[in-house]
Amino acid sequence: MHQIELILICLAIGVLLRWSGRLPDTAPKVLGGWVINVALPAAALRSVHDVTFDADWWLAAATPWIGVSFAIIILVPIGRSLNWSRQRLGALLLVAGWGNTSFVGIPMITALAGAQWLGLGLVIDLFGSYLALSVVGITIATICSDATFDIRVVMRRIITFPPFIAIIVAITTNHLDRPVFIDDVVNALAMTLTPLALAAVGFALRLDRISGRLAALGLGLGFRLVVAPFLILVKYLLLGKIGDPAARIAILEMAMPPMLGASIIAMGHDLEPDLVVLMIGLGVPLSMLTAPLWWSLIAAF
């Protein structure tokens, strides 16, 4: 669980860097640029290599896609009824729609379910969270930031999105052996994802800006930490698969706090950054309480 501690420490480092005045106000954009263009692609390349697939895992891998679909169905009508801006809606969809299935999810799986399920966790993360973010997430960010829907613009942003390119490269070369030095470089670059992404979030985090955002914050975190895992639990109950270990891992992954990559994309598209960083800053510590409760509930079935 040392990665959970690392997450909290990196958030605190970002806050301290802002207080110190040692970095310019543009630091989150610079750090976010590295995350999107270097660290996320490297993490995708690292995750897919040598992962073995089980045919029964694909329903679990579809969970993040289903989760963001529920987010759109539930959050968009509520946001519109409250006359929220497209920027706020985009922020909520990106940050509440995707869970942190890797840097929080993987340690949680290890601690609660056992290391034997890490392969499933990686499959959910790569083919669920990362791939959905590269396609649906970029579409949401483009529409909400530009206020228009141009299929050519959306497709161009998807196919030029570095993590999407990395996933395609990783899948097509998965059967090939990699030189050790390439693995070392990819691993080193991927390891920068959590520290830099969280430092960017911590730097931008302003608790004094929570005023006027309580409703959106409560709705977003409520969906992410409570509603989303509940809906996936109901899905598996209806399918009669709630006792399947893969189903339990999928529900646990859906109970994770907001995804760092999605938050960086939202901030990069100027989708109410203050709301985004509040959801990350509060969502991560809250999930340390809610995720074990979900696991206890799942284990009761």
290 contacts 251 by C-beta, under 8 angstroms: no
200 contacts 32 by C-beta, under 8 angstroms: yes
Distance in angstroms (rounded) separating the CA atoms of residues 194 and 34: 11
Range of the domain at 20: 2-299
The CATH number assigned to the domain holding 142 equals 1.20.1530.20
User: Each residue of 43-92: pLDDT tens digit?
Assistant: 878 877 666 667 678 888 899 999 999 999 999 999 999 999 999 999 99
User: Each residue of 120-161: pLDDT tens digit?
Assistant: 888 888 888 988 998 899 999 989 987 666 778 778 888 888
Amino acid, res. 77: P
How many domains would you assign to the chain? Answer: 1
Alpha-carbon distance values, 20 to 13, 16, 17, 41, 274 (Å): 10, 6, 5, 31, 20
Distance in angstroms (rounded) separating the CA atoms of residues 230 and 242: 12
User: Each residue of 208-241: pLDDT tens digit?
Assistant: 778 889 999 999 999 999 999 999 999 999 998 8
Q: For the chain, what is the mean pLDDT? A: 86
How many CB atoms sit inside 10 A of residue 56's CB?
13
Distance in angstroms (rounded) separating the CA atoms of residues 252 and 184: 30
- Token pair, residue 158, equals 């998807």
Amino acid, res. 64: P
Alpha helices in 21-62 (DSSP H): 27-34, 40-48, 58-61
Question: What letter would DSSP give residue 258?
Answer: B
